[in-house]
Structure 1
Amino acid sequence: MYKLIGAILPVLLLFMILPNYQPDAVSAEETPQSDGVIVKYKEMNGEPINDLIEKVEVPKGETTDNLIEELEEQKNVEYAEPNYLFKKMESPNDPAYIDQWHHKKLGTNAAWTKTMGSKEMIVAIIDDGIDRGHGDLKGKIVNAYDTIRNRKNIVPAGEHGTHIAGIIAGSANNGIGGAGVAPNVKLMPINVFDGEYADTADIIDAIHYAVQNKANIINMSLGDTSYSEALNKAVQEAYKKGILIVAAAGNEGDMGKNVQRVYPAAFSNVISVAATDNRDKRPSYSNYHSTVDIAAPGDDILSTLPNGKYGWMSGTSMATPMVTGVAALIWSNEPKLNKTEVEYRLYDSAIDLGTKGKDIYYGNGRVNAKKALEMKTLTKPAVTAISDKDTKVTGKVPADFKTGTVSIYTDKKQLAEVKINGEKTFTATIAKQTAGTTIFTRVIDKSGNKSVPVSCKVQDKTAPAKPSVNTVGDNTVKVTGKAEASTNVTIKTGSTVLGKANANSAGKFTVTISKKQKAGKVLFATATDKAGNTSSITKVTVVDKTAPSKPSVNTVNTKTTIVTGKAEANSTVSIKQSGKVIGSAAATTKATFSVRIPKQKAGKNLYIYAKDKAKNVSEARKVTVKK
């Protein structure tokens, strides 16, 4: 990260006080060489053998890989492998190389026996510029760009950027200074800093420039805790164009619980890098977070500085170009790999530190150049889609995969492992998984080589529970109830849709229907989830919630013993006087009624009301007894 480095620059040392060390040189561009194949036999002439290994020459017109495959198909062969040609593990003749402790940790010497980087590999360094005239960086610069001054081929000689450039690609075997992790790759310096800070717009401009000018990797040893959607879109666009993006996790680790996500490292599809020291421990400043992907040496790192100088800096800014450099070596050695395969090679070859497996401090572990270039990437398996109803994961093993395991897991735990010994397909039993869970499947051979994981999101095939619906009256256009959260609730009568609405996060819903429904009408309610699964039907009968009209009553006098009038057919008509019921009777089917009551005194008030079979009560009709 940029800010921390600015604070420690005054204590840098110059290269002239470093010890002078000049061992024999290592050749710059080499690939693994082999002389035929060595075969380990299980038996010979029916007799078991413990240690017989035979060298077999590769026939003309056949490849080493094909011969190995043919030999391993023989029953008496335990294994076959290339008969590699080994060479002396000599160090470069750069005098400061012995003070660059990170090379021993990374195993770059061993990695360099395969490649020191390809001149076709371009790393864009989005930072504060590079000293293009530095003796260890001369001839490595392509398409330099300054976003601040909008000019090409001229950038400031930034201290931070120059230091990062030396870590990635400082020249080896030139008799001065130290050496970069990938000494032969090209660098594309892009300045985004105007003083101490770089703004979002300039960083976006730099990313676009790197894409347009065919960078393979982007190194961003900078960051901020503020999320920018515009910056994220630029990063994702670069990723889609095939660029590997590496960024610093940040240097606020000593703030403890106050540590936040730092962008762009925390964006998806960006390799977020934490720092380690020379004991493979986390320096206090190195950020920790679930977004950290990998760790790398970042403490007291010796590299180039402007004006031909050298010095030490610390921070995740220094760790980031370590990972970038190893990625450049992998890609240089195997140019047919894609960015995802390079990324997983970094993770799969990393030295696990801290808690077993991925953790918040070191991610997948500390980067390891030696192992990264020794491993190979296997062909991915084919995996059948899986749903939340399934307890089996099935698929096809790659045609070139003979023995090993199929590993099936989530980001939280291992689900299953299937041993493969020549089988073409696999079936694994797992516990049912929740819809939306991502399941990863990869093949691993007996040497620990792995494929890139195949990710499958568990499909939702489980229908929601049928909704519960509150009473629906003939007096409303609102249907309420509860259903699975976020499902879409549909109300029908027959095949006619009356209304729809989404249940909220608590599962409550209110559906407004097109019109009031008659009592006795049957409504059908269903809930459909986002995956298109529909629940079984809940039937609801519309109930009578409409009160009868208040009765009409004929004249009542002091001689009346039968009160007559009209009310809703078949309703029960009751008459009250002074709060007491003094008579009741059912209205006829023709809506007439006759209720017997005791004779009442003149002036008394009677209250006549009707109650239907659904127990809805009408308004009362007030009648005063006449003389």
Structure 2
Amino acid sequence: MPLSKQRVRRRAVRSAVSSAAALGVLAGVAAAPAAAAAGDGARRSPLTLAATGECNFPSDNVAAVPWALQRVVLDQLWSHGITGKGVTVAVIDTGVDAVNPQLRGKVVGGPVELIDPQTKKAAQGGSTLDPVGHGTKVAGIIAARPSAATGFVGLAPDAKIYSVRQNDSEGSGQVDKLVDAINAAVKAGVQVINISQDVRGTSPTGGFTDEAQLHVAIQDAVQHGIVVVASSGNDGKEGATFPAAYPEVIAVGASDRNNERAAFSEYGSFVDVAAPGVDMLSTVPGGGQCVDNGTSFSSPYVAGVAALLKQKYPQWSPAQIAARIEQTAQRNQRDRDDFIGWGVVDPVKAVTSDAPPESAAVPEPPTALAGAPLVAQQLTLGETQADRNRRTATYVLGAGLVVVLLISGGSVVLRDHRRRRSGV
């Protein structure tokens, strides 16, 4: 196949509740679309939940606060005016709808040069049109403004979105177009780039068509001070995906409500952190919100935190921003692991910490107890000092109680005596 036709995959796992869900029955896994098995090297996630209740565009507003935001104290997160103001995040995806009220007025469209496989014509509507809905969900997690109609809001509600529509109406993308999109974002002067899609290489270090050009584009973005965030993938197995696996990129896996790796989240030594990716509520084209699953929606969660840090520390390098996010993540062990990296991102801790900048995350030091010598307690057959202290305290308490009773009783007797003398 020509070099320019290497495909990349969107990182979403569709989920909806079927009529059996009320009984706790989850629909089974369906095969990937036939187009994903084409002989041109195309790959899509085979993990597609077959269920009814597909999200419609536009959709209804969801009044409840989604679980991924319930654990974030937003007033604390946005304290001192850290809301992403002055920061622009590039969303390289299926486009971002500029009509949804929570995104209206904050989406700028980048260049589009796509040939839609369905119409065989140039993609219409530019980057502020999202025929798939994927990019609009990604953008909402980053920067959706508050609304009285819903409990959902983006982590950086005052950030702007620079949308580059890089995927066609079927959701497919190409590496060479991804390279063009990254270069366009750099030229536009964004501070953060989110890439919720990937391509799998033939080796842990890459090995796919246009790999060299993609890595150069990523390196150029980082050299311009841009934080690049990418999803790890949804195949649920071990193995590096790109661009997430590049060392310059913050690779994000998906976590569930228990802060554990979601079953679909790809894992390996390339994963830097994890973020919520299960039952993620976000904006959809036309208005309203919808729920979806995937590392596609974990990545913008981290990109939103990066936008807040970029506002707070505009002079920090991408490596320092990444280190802060990784160092403040909620860990289940001292060091990183291959399932959730350095841990599950903690937005409030990352933004409110005043620790000096670091160039890389480090393991937590061992506790003092781990290196402390064990001292045997002295064996005594008689009364210990602690026993004596407890006995003394009992005597003091008892004596105090007796005094209180005597005073109370005496006051009653005195009152009665005075009443008798006065003839009352």
Instruction: Specify the TM-score bucket, using the shorter chain as the normaliser.
Output: 0.5 to 0.7
8 Å Cα contact 2:182-2:217 kept in structure 1: yes
The alpha-carbon distance between structure 1 residues 139 and 297, as it changes in their structure 2 partners (threshold 3 A), is same
Question: Does residue 360 of structure 1 match 2:338?
Answer: yes
The alpha-carbon distance between structure 1 residues 411 and 190, as it changes in their structure 2 partners (threshold 3 A), is same
RMSD of Structure 2 on Structure 1 (CA)? 2.8
The alpha-carbon distance between structure 1 residues 220 and 347, as it changes in their structure 2 partners (threshold 3 A), is same
- Distance in structure 2 (CA, Å) of the matches to 1:277 and 1:359: 16
One-letter amino acid of the counterpart of residue 215, structure 2:
N
For residues 298-309 of structure 1, the aligned pairs below 5 Å read 298-309=277-288
For residues 91-130 of structure 1, the aligned pairs below 5 Å read 95-96=63-64, 98=65, 100-130=66-96
- Distance in structure 2 (CA, Å) of the matches to 1:169 and 1:410: 26
Of Structure 1 and Structure 2, the greater strand share is in 1
The alpha-carbon distance between structure 1 residues 331 and 3, as it changes in their structure 2 partners (threshold 3 A), is closer
One-letter amino acid of the counterpart of residue 245, structure 1:
V
Counterpart residue number, 1:578: none
Question: Does residue 225 of structure 1 match 2:203?
Answer: no
8 Å Cα contact 2:127-2:165 kept in structure 1: no
Question: Does residue 234 of structure 1 match 2:217?
Answer: yes
- Distance in structure 1 (CA, Å) of the matches to 2:277 and 2:364: 30
Counterpart residue number, 1:208: 183
8 Å Cα contact 2:60-2:287 kept in structure 1: no
One-letter amino acid of the counterpart of residue 226, structure 2:
I
Counterpart residue number, 1:2: 10
Q: How far off its partner does 1:291 sit?
A: 0.5
Counterpart residue number, 1:183: 157
One-letter amino acid of the counterpart of residue 138, structure 2:
I
Counterpart residue number, 1:245: 228
Question: Does residue 170 of structure 1 match 2:170?
Answer: no
One-letter amino acid of the counterpart of residue 247, structure 1:
A
- Distance in structure 2 (CA, Å) of the matches to 1:301 and 1:212: 31
**Deviation readout 1:5-59 (Å, 9 max, x if unpaired):** 35459644575373xxxxxxxxxxxxxxxxxxxxxxxxxxxxxxxxxxxxxxxxx
Counterpart residue number, 1:156: 129
8 Å Cα contact 1:146-1:155 kept in structure 2: no
Q: Secondary structure at the match of 1:188?
A: strand
Which one of the candidate residues 122, 138, 144 is aligned to 2:110?
144
One-letter amino acid of the counterpart of residue 244, structure 2:
A
- Distance in structure 2 (CA, Å) of the matches to 1:371 and 1:379: 14
Deviates more, 1:113-122 or 1:259-268: 113-122
8 Å Cα contact 1:357-1:364 kept in structure 2: yes
Counterpart residue number, 2:421: none
- Distance in structure 1 (CA, Å) of the matches to 2:75 and 2:112: 34
Which gives a bigger RCO, structure 1 or 2 (Cα 8 Å, sep 6+)?
Answer: 2
Q: How far off its partner does 1:324 sit?
A: 0.4
Counterpart residue number, 2:60: 16
Q: Secondary structure at the match of 1:317?
A: coil
One-letter amino acid of the counterpart of residue 123, structure 1:
V
Counterpart residue number, 1:290: 269
8 Å Cα contact 1:115-1:329 kept in structure 2: no
Q: Secondary structure at the match of 1:5?
A: coil
One-letter amino acid of the counterpart of residue 343, structure 2:
G
Which one of the candidate residues 254, 257, 265 is aligned to 2:244?
265
**Deviation readout 1:472-528 (Å, 9 max, x if unpaired):** xxxxxxxxxxxxxxxxxxxxxxxxxxxxxxxxxxxxxxxxxxxxxxxxxxxxxxxxx
Q: How far off its partner does 1:154 sit?
A: 4.3
Deviates more, 1:199-208 or 1:175-184: 175-184
8 Å Cα contact 2:159-2:307 kept in structure 1: yes
The alpha-carbon distance between structure 1 residues 152 and 304, as it changes in their structure 2 partners (threshold 3 A), is closer
The alpha-carbon distance between structure 1 residues 217 and 10, as it changes in their structure 2 partners (threshold 3 A), is farther
- Distance in structure 2 (CA, Å) of the matches to 1:361 and 1:191: 30
- Distance in structure 2 (CA, Å) of the matches to 1:218 and 1:193: 16
Q: Secondary structure at the match of 1:102?
A: helix
> What's the TM-score once normalised by structure 1's chain length?
0.46
The alpha-carbon distance between structure 1 residues 243 and 147, as it changes in their structure 2 partners (threshold 3 A), is farther
Counterpart residue number, 2:349: 371
- Distance in structure 2 (CA, Å) of the matches to 1:317 and 1:131: 17
The alpha-carbon distance between structure 1 residues 248 and 357, as it changes in their structure 2 partners (threshold 3 A), is same
> What's the TM-score once normalised by structure 2's chain length?
0.66
- Distance in structure 1 (CA, Å) of the matches to 2:270 and 2:98: 34
Q: How far off its partner does 1:340 sit?
A: 2.0
Q: Secondary structure at the match of 1:147?
A: coil
Q: How far off its partner does 1:196 sit?
A: 3.0
Q: Secondary structure at the match of 1:201?
A: helix
Q: How far off its partner does 1:342 sit?
A: 1.3
Counterpart residue number, 2:391: none
Q: Secondary structure at the match of 2:193?
A: strand
Counterpart residue number, 2:173: 198
Identity value in percent: 29
- Distance in structure 1 (CA, Å) of the matches to 2:258 and 2:364: 29
**Runs of at least 5 residues in structure 1 that lack an aligned partner in the other structure:** 19-94, 382-408, 418-627
- Distance in structure 1 (CA, Å) of the matches to 2:143 and 2:364: 38
8 Å Cα contact 1:2-1:222 kept in structure 2: yes
8 Å Cα contact 2:334-2:364 kept in structure 1: no
One-letter amino acid of the counterpart of residue 364, structure 1:
W
Q: Secondary structure at the match of 2:167?
A: coil
- Which structure has the larger Rg? 1
8 Å Cα contact 2:323-2:358 kept in structure 1: no
The alpha-carbon distance between structure 1 residues 371 and 121, as it changes in their structure 2 partners (threshold 3 A), is same
The alpha-carbon distance between structure 1 residues 365 and 243, as it changes in their structure 2 partners (threshold 3 A), is same
**Deviation readout 1:435-457 (Å, 9 max, x if unpaired):** xxxxxxxxxxxxxxxxxxxxxxx
The alpha-carbon distance between structure 1 residues 151 and 345, as it changes in their structure 2 partners (threshold 3 A), is farther
- Distance in structure 1 (CA, Å) of the matches to 2:101 and 2:69: 20
The alpha-carbon distance between structure 1 residues 234 and 310, as it changes in their structure 2 partners (threshold 3 A), is same
One-letter amino acid of the counterpart of residue 246, structure 1:
V
- Distance in structure 2 (CA, Å) of the matches to 1:213 and 1:151: 21
For residues 498-517 of structure 1, the aligned pairs below 5 Å read none
The alpha-carbon distance between structure 1 residues 101 and 200, as it changes in their structure 2 partners (threshold 3 A), is same
The alpha-carbon distance between structure 1 residues 348 and 191, as it changes in their structure 2 partners (threshold 3 A), is same
- Distance in structure 1 (CA, Å) of the matches to 2:158 and 2:224: 24
For residues 159-558 of structure 1, the aligned pairs below 5 Å read 159-173=133-147, 175-176=149-150, 178-194=152-168, 195-226=170-201, 227=206, 228-253=211-236, 255=237, 259-353=238-332, 355-378=333-356
The alpha-carbon distance between structure 1 residues 251 and 239, as it changes in their structure 2 partners (threshold 3 A), is same
